Amino acid sequence: MDLRLYDTLSGEKRVFAPIDADNVRMYVCGPTVYDFAHIGNARPVIVFDLLFRMLRYIYGPDQVTYVRNITDVDDKINDRATRDFPGLPLNEAIRKVTEKTLVQFHADVDALGALRPTFEPRATDFVLPRADGKTDMVTLIKELIARGHAYEAGGEVLFDTQSMPDYGRLSGRKLDEQQAGARIAVDAHKKHPTDFVLWKQSSADEPGWESPWGRGRPGWHIECSAMSAAYLGDVFDIHGGGLDLIFPHHENEIAQSRCAHGTQAMANYWMHNGFLQVEGEKMSKSTGNFVTIRELLNDWPGEVVRLNMLKTHYRSPMDWTLKGMEESAKTLDDWYWVAADDRGGHPSTKVMEALSDDLNTPQTIAALHGLRNLAAAGDDKARGKFAASLRMLGFLNESAADWSARKQQSSGIDAARIDALIADRTAARARKDFKESDRIRDELAAMGVTIKDSKDGTTWEIAR
């Protein structure tokens, strides 16, 4: 079964052929760590985790290298550091902001059932030449200058976009189109308006590193060119990220990497997940529909968030709704119950076929519903395939008992406590202590639990 992936650069769905099947290499742009991640950030995390799992399944778990960087140098981080830790020296304040945010990010993505990438390099560790000789940003910038692709002007080092004949291919933008309407006055020191910053000088109150171009800091794009080369080489298999990164970020990553290494490609497949809206509107802090992963996880298990995300194909725009979450929660309750902790089977062919078609998750979920129905009707083989497929997709990370217990806990109900109270009440009735049995019934009612006595014993349910 061939894995086929949609490549933004060629505009086609193509059969995936790795450069080296013993080391399949994928890079995905990671978070800028200054604030809680929002559900828009969760989309690439979940989508590329699914692809990572798929590649591990096909090529073997040790045959896939997944790198997701951490951007810990950024003007937004500086602003946050001076706001939150005004008394501290800047470097210490920045470290506090990034450490705290990173711990939170890891907790969030773990809860979403996402495997940790093989490497999670931090930008600040790759600014200056390294003892281990891995690619760094300063060396890459020097190489770009030496090859005639970058120049110093106005206190910056800039990439010379006109030095690259096919600059703009990923986003389909042409240089001369962009010349028109550009605000030349603002960029007077640039040779062309699309030229972008590789290095800029830092003032005394900004973080900086000593470089051949004075004390300064790198531009955003160069960090991904450095860290991908450091772990994956000059040309690798898959580069991923959100649609909003195509221009300028990925366009500029390609320009830097290809021109520094003298290669025809940076990555062979460029994959982009679509946008995400909330309740039909663009997510923004001002309209109040800005939802962090943390807030969602306070209300829902991470697997519900994961399923809800995968109901939409990764390239389609997605509308995140409360109704969708409620349906996803119901579906997972049912799937946990039907799968019944089965550990027998292998993922079903139908599921793997759907996933192999550019991660067609809506079709995958349809196949899962089919298996679920067979399993619920008593087909043990289908149950094994159903459970194995769900695990492959990153679900069933807990036992069915834990899942339902957690659900009861989250609704404020402690099933063990209720069972104990009912046993006490049965004992009280047996010794004809009706005062005590009524008291226990009232206590249960106060907890929102109604009980029903029959000749077979006492059953209970949560009053709605």
For Zn ion, the binding residues (CB under 5 A) are 29, 224
Residue 167 neighbours by CB under 8 Å, 6+ apart: 161, 175, 194, 251, 255
Q: Output 40 or 302, the one with its CB closest to Zn ion.
A: 40
CB of 388 to Zn ion, least distance (A): 34
Separation CA 342–CA 280 (nearest Å)? 38
Q: Output 224 or 388, the one with its CB closest to Zn ion.
A: 224
Partners of residue 197 on adjacent β-strands: 158
CB of 443 to Zn ion, least distance (A): 57
CB of 207 to Zn ion, least distance (A): 19
Closest listed residue to residue 261, CA positions, set 236, 279, 280, 282: 236
CB of 223 to Zn ion, least distance (A): 7
DSSP-derived letter for residue 15 is E
- What Rg do the C-alpha atoms of the chain give, in angstroms? 27
Taking the CA atoms of residue 382, residue 386, residue 388 and residue 390 in that order, the dihedral angle to the nearest 10 degrees is 180
Q: Where are the alpha helices (DSSP H) in 288-414?
A: 293-299, 302-310, 322-339, 349-356, 361-376, 380-392, 400-410
Closest listed residue to residue 419, CA positions, set 408, 431, 430: 408
Contact call for residues 306 and 395 (beta carbons, < 8 A): yes
CB of 258 to Zn ion, least distance (A): 15
Three-state DSSP class for 158?
A: strand
Residue 416 neighbours by CB under 8 Å, 6+ apart: none
β 214-218/196-201 pair status:
antiparallel
CB of 66 to Zn ion, least distance (A): 14
Q: Output 214 or 274, the one with its CB closest to Zn ion.
A: 274
CB of 25 to Zn ion, least distance (A): 15
Taking the CA atoms of residue 53, residue 54, residue 59 and residue 64 in that order, the dihedral angle to the nearest 10 degrees is -40
CB of 29 to Zn ion, least distance (A): 3
List Cα–Cα distances, 104 to 35, 38, 234, 307, 418, in angstroms: 9, 12, 32, 21, 35
CB of 143 to Zn ion, least distance (A): 19
Buried residues in 350-370 as b, exposed as e (16+ CB within 10 A): bbbebbbbbbbbebbbebbee
Separation CA 415–CA 423 (nearest Å)? 12
